[in-house]
Structure formats: structure tokens, C-alpha cells
Structure 1
Amino acid sequence: MRFVTDPELTPELIDELVDCWTDVSNAGGSVGFVPPVTADDIRATAEAAFARCGDDDHLVAGFDAEGRVACWLILGDAGSWLRAHWRWVLRVMVHPKHQGRGYGSRLMGAADAAARALGVEALHLTVRGGTGTERFYAGLGYVEAGRIPKAIRLAPGDDRDEIYMVKSL
């Protein structure tokens, strides 16, 4: 696995990232969409997110042995000089064909390293309640800082908590 921070966002790489996002979403991943979705459903959101990368936000991508996108996330700027010492961890995803191989932990380690290189002191993220992902992040040193009950509505009658977590670097 090779990790790159802020790779050149060529049209081909953007297509791979969107395809990964689509496959993760359709596998039930908590990355902003509810299945079933197509690449066309995700593309506008993805392109807006990638347009911010390289300046204030930073894409961290993991590539498999064939050089294909295996996992990725975005370190998002907090939007204020008062919060310049931390970043949001956004859109964390591992392609379904690579899940269960430790890629998620390795991706988060690469995010820690990229954040430290930027002089960042803490990382914040949110998780969707009911998925168990908070246990994964707790195992990486994140602690729950709060939650908003029923903040996320997947469908009528299926509301989930939004859980805020933080890690000091």
C-alpha cells in the first residue's frame, strides 16, 4: 500500500475516487449517501469536495499494488484561523474489496502523519450512530466528545445519532 497526500487530481483519478465512493456507498458505508446510488449521483458532491483539496483541504489516498485507489479520506480545514490547529477527517472509505485487511487503520495512520506534517494538533470526525464505527475510531485513539440524537435521517423512521470524536496528535 502506498499513501499519497494531495495526489494530482487528474480526470482518471477523480473517476477512480468517485467509483470507490459509489462502491462504498452501495456496500452500506456511511459516507454521505444511502444505497442504491450511481457514480452520477455522487459526482457533483465529489467534485466539489476535490475542488477544495490542495489548498485548505488535503486528500490522503491509498493505492494498492496495481496502483488503483484502495482507500481515501479528506483532511478538511476547520474554516477559521482560530481553529487552524485542527482538521476534520472527512469521507473516510476503504473500497469493499479491500475491507478486512487493515487498510482503514493504515489510512488513518497516514492521515495522522499528513496532519502532523501540516502542524495540526488534533483531528475531529463524526460517525453515524448504529454502525459501530465509533469502536474502530476509539481503537485508534479517538474519544467521543458529544453526540446529537437523531441528527441523521436515512429514511422515515430511521434516524441516527451523529457522534463527534476527537484525537489529539
Structure 2
Amino acid sequence: MAEPRFVVDPELTPALTGELVECWAEVVNAGGAVGFVPPVTPGDILETATATFAACDTTRDNPDHLLAGFDREGQVACWLILGDGKSWLRAHWRWVLRVMVHPKHQGQGYGTLLMRAADDAARDLGVEALHLTVRGGTGTEGFYARLGYTEVGRIPRSIRLAPGDDRDEIYMVKHL
């Protein structure tokens, strides 16, 4: 496996935005817990994606940062958002949002590499801690724990996927 090439705040061209949205839909449809429930199309995600990427528009001095990993063909392999806390009281930490690895790259270590690249990007921003949430029932909290994240809270049944299918929202933190 060739390691992905990571870029913080790549230019959000229409082509790149399209790839990111396509990746997002593929991840959801493969069972990824990134804000939607399958089946979805890129069109189903577009409104949320537009707002997500607008907050990462560095030409407008927005506070969020897109971290994208590209495979050896130059295609989006994985990505996440380092989200600002929107308060000077929390300027020393970021939320890790929308963590995803394209299904064709899953199981190859890209998720670990993406999260390590996020640590490096956060340190470069002067960030001292990263926070994230995971959907209970997916087992992803074990992945994040292996990367140094600690569970600090849980809200039972706060995520409703469908009637009768409620999940916990698990809060995790990592001090850099």
C-alpha cells in the first residue's frame, strides 16, 4: 500500500468538492457513521456538504480546516474536518468531524494515518487537544482509544437512526 499524501486546506475546487461528496456517500452506504443512514446519493448529502466545506473556505478566513488524503492516483482516499470551537475560550482545541476513509481503502491503515496526520495538523495550528464523538454500536470507540483518545462522556440513546434504533453518543478527547 502506498501511503496517502495529506493536504491541509486544499483548494476546494468543484472537482475536489465532488470527489469529497462522492466519498461521503460511498462511506455512508458502506455503513460509515458520518451523519447519514444508508442508502444515500451524493445529492442527499450535498446541502450538508456545502455548509461543511463553506466553513473550511480559507479564502474567507473561516476557522475550520479540511484535511484530505489522496491516493497515488491523486483521488480522495480519506478526509476529515478539524472544527473550531467557535469561542476564544476554546481556541486551544478542535473537534475532529466527519472522519472517513473511502471504502476501497478501508482495512489498509488509512484511518490510522489520517488520524496521525490530524494530530500533526492540529499541533501546527497550536492546538492542545482534539475532541470527537462516535455513534454507539459501531465499535469505533476502540479504534480511537488505540490512537490515544479517552472516553469522557456518553449520552444514552441520543442518536435515532430509525424508530426503535437509538444509539449512544460517545464523547472522546485526546491531549496532544
Q: How does 1:73-92 map to 2 (within 5 A)?
A: 73-92=80-99
- 1:143 is matched by which residue type in structure 2? T
1:93 aligns with 2:100: yes
Q: How does 1:123-134 map to 2 (within 5 A)?
A: 123-134=130-141
Supply the RMSD in Å over aligned alpha carbons: 0.4
1:44 aligns with 2:47: yes
Aligned to 1:103: 110
TM-score normalised to structure 1 length: 0.99
Q: Distance in 2 between matches of 1:151 and 1:75?
A: 23
Q: Distance in 2 between matches of 1:49 and 1:65?
A: 26
Secondary structure of 1:66's counterpart equals: coil
Secondary structure of 1:25's counterpart equals: helix
- 2:97 is matched by which residue type in structure 1? L
Aligned to 2:19: 16
- 1:79 is matched by which residue type in structure 2? K
Q: Percent identity?
A: 78
Aligned to 2:120: 113
Structure 1, gaps ≥5 residues long: none
Structure 2, gaps ≥5 residues long: none
Q: Distance in 2 between matches of 1:141 and 1:121?
A: 14
Match of 1:25 among 2, 20, 28: 28
- Residues 137-161 of structure 1 show CA distances to partners (whole Å, capped at 9, x for unaligned) of 0000000000000000000000000
Q: Distance in 2 between matches of 1:4 and 1:120?
A: 18
Q: How does 1:145-156 map to 2 (within 5 A)?
A: 145-156=152-163
1:142 aligns with 2:149: yes
Report deviation, 1:79: 1.0
Report deviation, 1:37: 0.5
- Residues 31-58 of structure 1 show CA distances to partners (whole Å, capped at 9, x for unaligned) of 0000000100001100100000032000
Flag as ranges the 4+ runs of structure 1 deviating above 4 A. none
Secondary structure of 2:104's counterpart equals: helix
